[in-house]
Structure 1
Amino acid sequence: MDDDRPDVLLTGLLFYDLVLTGLGGPPTPGEEIWTDGMGCGPGGIANLAVAASRFGLRTSLATVFGDDFYGAHCHEVLAGQEGVDLSLSRVAEGWPTPVTVALALPRSRPPAPGGTPSHDRALVTHGQEPPYSQDALMGDPPEARTALVHIEAEPREWLAKAAANGTRIYADVGWDPTRQWSPDLLEQLALCHAFLPNEAEAMAYTRTDSPLAALGTLAELVPVAVVTRGGDGAVAVDQTTGEYAEVPALDIDVLDATGAGDVFGASFVAASLGGWPLEERLRFAVLAAGLSVRHHGGALAAPGWYGVDRWWRSVTDPEVRRAYGFLAGRIPADVGPPVRYAPVTPPARLP
């Protein structure tokens, strides 16, 4: 194996996220709501990049930064603080970095397939299409052990090139605003090693009425199929090993669910690269995602080995210690420095 290969290759849209928490409900026209919970930092594709890097994976990110304050701050955090390789990324002159304001709201019941997604957050975004496409950023993509991607209705050329290079593709999918849930999108799974949608997306795209039925359909299309279920945990099938696993979510108070699915995906990849059994991979991803929702934002809420180690040392419940006992042999001796969570405001740039 070439040790210089990235462990994880990523591309996608970067955002500067401003997250407000502690809201009793959404504001109404003419109303002003004060809250004492706020955090800011990189978002979008940065969620995956930081989550992967904090588990010690060599992470290469191809994205576009605006030549503004938001872009410079995100670049500094990703490259300087988190050690993400940005050699495939570009700074676009005159292009504004997309900015998202996220309102973390009381969670509602999960939606039916094709319905409205769970209202655990409301997003307002300012942004424009980036001047460089994913295919332009990637060109002939470098060989990598894995790539974490969000597949879309329009296939990306670089994805087929990466798969041909021997890169294992781990795919997720975003919410379909058209609510058409075209099954044609699933044709792209022929390039993928794993697919990790949430239950609403999985049921909608497979035209099934339960997460298990959706999992069964997806398992015929991709070697490793995972369906995340939010507060109900996750289920998965690995056809390469013949394993099936179903694990519950942990009982964790939710501050902000932004990016939890991305943290799940990056953690599942980290465990997969370690060759762990399916149940351990699934429990580890559920744990990491659960730990992330206790903090603001997506990227900087990722726990990394430091956060997992702190949690494991604090666990006293005998059942939980039995279920997660495998961590005793998985957590590295050096878990790294304490992770930096999303600040209320970024540090000032003094002259």
Structure 2
Amino acid sequence: MGEIMREKYDLVVFGDICCDLIFSGIESLPGPGEEVWADQMKVTVGGAFNVAAAASRLNLKTGIPCIYGTDIMSSFIHEAALEEGVDTRLFLHIPQPYLQASVVLNFGNDRSFVSYAAKEKEHELEQHIENIADEVPMEVAVFSMTDKENYLDLMKKLRRHGTKVILDCSWDERLLTSEILLKQIENCDYFLPNLMEARRITGEPEPEAVIKKLSGHTANTVVKLGCDGVIAAGGGRMLRYPSVDLGKVVDTTGAGDNFAAGFAYGLVQKKSLEECILYGQLCGSKSTVALGGFTASLYESELMDLVHKKAI
């Protein structure tokens, strides 16, 4: 860890990563015993890696603590990190297979998942992550919501060190209504759920009621409304933004992850909440025009061009 300690990361991403097998152009999900055919398929790396890869394209020095083993999927993940410029020095290598995979089925403007992740080395990964939180300086940290109890202590520790903590969300019906998630929300600086997730957390149907309830738990809440844009609360204000359309939607797998990367980019650049949201919207929208969570992710120059066009 000594080599890493001397360098400050713009962003460190905390969350599970996996190989994604993505199918698109499906008319409907198959029923029991049925088979459906997709128009397109792609094998890529997904999960929290989408945030890291998208942030690296935005020229942020980015790392992601994770395990990789001796299996073909682990090798694929490691090679993708090298290709995308994600710092692999936060990776923990183990001399055995460590399978992590997710099947993504895109239909209409939504998607469903079937996932698997090896669990036998979780304690080693938790210790590795705790060491990183103690020793690695970082400007921003993005956490995926989790039932791992040590993550709450990590969030508190990083905030004490001056790191800005973003909590991102995903669909886990049990976790969305749990006490541990509420504690994580209360100990982050920015919470970024989508409307479906936020409704499940709060029990409120309307975006305004959702944001009002969530703002009682954290300083800044940003709720993504899909084609209806974004609603946010921060600094005692409620803000509403229209959607951003950058092309035909092919795959929404990484939209939220790219939003988080763009938002984090804004924080690193010391931008306002409004500007961070715009960066997030542009990155999230662009990511949906190709298969894969980061295939179409914006590079920094492309993002700045779009920001300039929005300002004209």
TM-superposed deviation, 1:213: 1.5
Q: Specify which structure has the higher proportion of strand.
A: 2
Q: Which amino acid aligns with 1:196?
A: L
TM-superposed deviation, 1:163: 2.1
**TM-score under structure 1 normalisation?**
0.78
Aligned mate of 1:168, from 161, 164, 170: 164
Q: Which amino acid aligns with 2:54?
A: A
Q: Which amino acid aligns with 2:111?
A: R
Measure, in 1, the Cα distance between the counterparts of 2:162 and 2:271. 20
Change (3 A) 1:274 1:243: farther
Q: Is the 8 A contact 1:64 1:130 kept in 2?
A: no
Q: Is the 8 A contact 1:255 1:294 kept in 2?
A: yes
Q: Is the 8 A contact 2:146 2:175 kept in 1?
A: no
Q: Is the 8 A contact 2:231 2:240 kept in 1?
A: yes
SS at match of 2:274: helix
Q: Is the 8 A contact 1:260 1:289 kept in 2?
A: yes
Alignment of 1:308-319 (within 5 A): 308=303
State percent identity of aligned pairs. 29
Corresponding residue of 2:296: 301
**TM-score under structure 2 normalisation?**
0.87
Query: Any stretches of 5+ residues in structure 2 without a counterpart?
Result: none
Aligned mate of 2:91, from 89, 92, 99: 89
TM-superposed deviation, 1:284: 2.0
Corresponding residue of 1:335: none
Q: Specify which structure has the higher proportion of helix.
A: 2
Give the alignment's Cα RMSD to 1 decimal.
2.5
Q: Is the 8 A contact 2:147 2:175 kept in 1?
A: no
SS at match of 1:139: helix
Rg larger for: 1
Greater CA drift, 140-149 or 150-159: 150-159
Query: Any stretches of 5+ residues in structure 1 without a counterpart?
Result: 108-119, 314-320, 327-351
Corresponding residue of 1:121: 111
Corresponding residue of 1:235: 231
Measure, in 2, the Cα distance between the counterparts of 1:223 and 1:245. 14
Alignment of 1:171-190 (within 5 A): 171-178=167-174, 181-190=177-186
Please list every run of at least 4 consecutive aligned residues from structure 1 whose deviation after the TM superposition is greater than 6 angstroms: none
Measure, in 1, the Cα distance between the counterparts of 2:192 and 2:86. 23
SS at match of 2:250: coil
Q: Is the 8 A contact 1:98 1:127 kept in 2?
A: yes
- Mapped pair 1:46 → 2:46: no
Change (3 A) 1:183 1:202: farther
Corresponding residue of 2:197: 201
Q: Which amino acid aligns with 1:167?
A: T
**Count of residues in correspondence between the two structures:** 301
SS at match of 2:90: coil
Measure, in 2, the Cα distance between the counterparts of 1:179 and 1:166. 27
Measure, in 2, the Cα distance between the counterparts of 1:35 and 1:130. 34
Measure, in 2, the Cα distance between the counterparts of 1:25 and 1:191. 39
Measure, in 2, the Cα distance between the counterparts of 1:189 and 1:31. 40
Corresponding residue of 1:218: 214
TM-superposed deviation, 1:28: 4.1
Alignment of 1:63-142 (within 5 A): 63-78=66-81, 80-107=82-109, 120-129=110-119, 131-133=121-123, 134-140=125-131, 141=133, 142=136
- Mapped pair 1:147 → 2:141: yes
Greater CA drift, 134-143 or 8-17: 134-143
